[in-house]
Amino acid sequence: MKFLKLITVTAIALSSLQALETKADVPSGYSQLNTCTANGKRYYKLQKTDESASYGVWNDSRSTWAAQYVSYNKASSTYKSKCSDNSDNPDMM
């Protein structure tokens, strides 16, 4: 009986870690809107969680901002510019 509980707890713990691993690419406090890979670099267009009018573009390959605390239009423009070689990912909007 204890063995079955251990299996259940282990399964829950592993699935929780997997969810954290999936979100690890996006800086905390931001929600992912789009992603692309261009020239071997991964970019995310993000929206600040607590400031709905604040957006950014995150370069995951270098862990740096291409644009931060900008308008939606500026973030979209930067994102499109960085993802202009969107052959790796068709989700460039």
Question: What Cα–Cα distance (Å) separates residue 3 from each residue in 7, 13, 15, 57, 87?
Answer: 6, 15, 18, 46, 49
The range of the structural domain enclosing residue 80 comes to: 27-88
**Single pTM value for the model:** 0.66
User: In the numeric block, which tokens belong to residue 17?
Assistant: 């870690």
For residue 36, being part of any structural domain is answered with: yes
For residue 59, being part of any structural domain is answered with: yes
Higher pLDDT, 63 or 12: 63
Domain count, the chain: 1
Residue 33 CB-density burial (10 A; 0-12 exposed, 13-18 middle, 19+ buried): middle
For residue 54, being part of any structural domain is answered with: yes
Residues 15-45 have pLDDT tens digits of 554 544 444 579 999 999 999 999 999 999 9
> In whole angstroms, how large is the CA radius of gyration of the chain?
17
**First vs last C-alpha separation in the chain:** 52
For residue 3, being part of any structural domain is answered with: no
For residue 19, being part of any structural domain is answered with: no
For residue 60, being part of any structural domain is answered with: yes
For residue 63, being part of any structural domain is answered with: yes
Q: Average pLDDT for residues 41-55, to the nearest whole number? A: 95
Q: Average pLDDT for residues 76-82, to the nearest whole number? A: 96
User: In the numeric block, which tokens belong to residue 1?
Assistant: 């009986």
Q: Which residues contact 9 (CB under 8 A, 6 or more apart)?
A: none
